[in-house]
Amino acid sequence: MSFRFQKRIKLGKGFGLNISKSSITPSYRNKRGSLSSKGYSLRTGIPGLSYRKTFKKTKGSGCFFNSMIIFIICFCCINISCKNQETPNKIIDSEKQIMNFIIINEDKDDLVNKTSIDIRLNGRITIEQLKAIGLKLKNDRPSMQKLWAFYYLPENEIGNGAWAITHFKPKLEVKILGSTKESFQELNSKLVSGNILGIWLDNDALAPNKLFLVREHNKLIMKTIYAKSSITNGGEILEDLLKTKKNGLTKYNYENNHGEYYIIEKNGNLGLYDKNGKFKEAKKVKQ
């Protein structure tokens, strides 16, 4: 018995690289068939029946192989440049409110009629408004049986946790993963006891929170209040701080198992650090 290793790396828009033990070959696939440097296949429309043709190896086969590589690289470059273009959109909901959103990225796979879309919102919206955008995306792409849309707030990094989703698989699923508009407004209205020395907002996609630096009972304390979301019921965390200096900036140490600490940055924002460096920055809130 022998084993065969083969892997396909998707490059988007049907293009890819077929990797085997002996070679790496470029290829292109769509709903009508596939093409590579080794041959092509065409679907007949009859289940289980297709036409295949293998290219013969000749002296000129190297030219064909090089042509295939250039062909695919050109199309991939076009694909990537189109993919990175931000596309502004807008929709009017049932209450006549205009919702603006931007399509940051779309990755289509025509072979399986599936697409994945990253969308930037101006701010938090309602479930019904998310549903309206999801339906518009689907109506604009009727051939896509599976449509996965990921929604990001202005401060959120693409690919690092979406605030909400609308997925057709094939039925529509709408879910806010982070805090709702109402929960976030409730967070913004909260204050804490003690002499408040500074306030910062961490508008995290999944667990937004507000950090209060206070002096209370002759202690420096960081009070962090979380908004309700799909992963937390809210709540408050208290940390006793020790004020020091690092590279001319104010540093606040607190007891933890991960080497974490705070630094007030030159711009007034609050940097969150661990032993590997800064992993987040909360924006300063005017008092």
274 and 204 inside one domain: yes
237 and 259 inside one domain: yes
Find the domain containing 137 and state its range. Answer: 87-176
Alpha helices (H) along 175-271:
181-189
Domain membership of residue 98 (yes or no) is yes
pLDDT digits (tens, 9 = 90+) for 181-218: 999 999 999 889 999 999 999 999 999 999 999 999 99
pLDDT digits (tens, 9 = 90+) for 121-134: 999 999 999 999 99
166 and 206 inside one domain: no
Please determine, for residue 262, whether its predicted confidence score (pLDDT) is greater than 60. Answer: yes
Q: Give φ, ψ of 14 to 5 degrees.
A: 90, -10
270 and 194 inside one domain: yes
Domain membership of residue 49 (yes or no) is yes
The confidence score (pLDDT) of residue 81 equals: 40
Q: Give φ, ψ of 78 to 5 degrees.
A: -60, -45
Please determine, for residue 46, whether its predicted confidence score (pLDDT) is greater than 90. Answer: no
For the chain, the domain total comes to: 3
pLDDT bracket for residue 89 (50, 70, 90): confident
The confidence score (pLDDT) of residue 17 equals: 64
pLDDT digits (tens, 9 = 90+) for 105-120: 999 998 999 999 999 9
149 and 208 inside one domain: no
**Who has greater pLDDT, 118 or 15?**
118
270 and 218 inside one domain: yes
Residue ending a domain, among 176, 204, 233, is: 176
The confidence score (pLDDT) of residue 108 equals: 92
Cα dihedral across residues 231, 105, 201, 279: positive or negative: positive
Residue ending a domain, among 56, 83, 110, is: 83
213 and 141 inside one domain: no
Torsion (CA) 77, 79, 82, 84 in degrees, nearest 10: -80
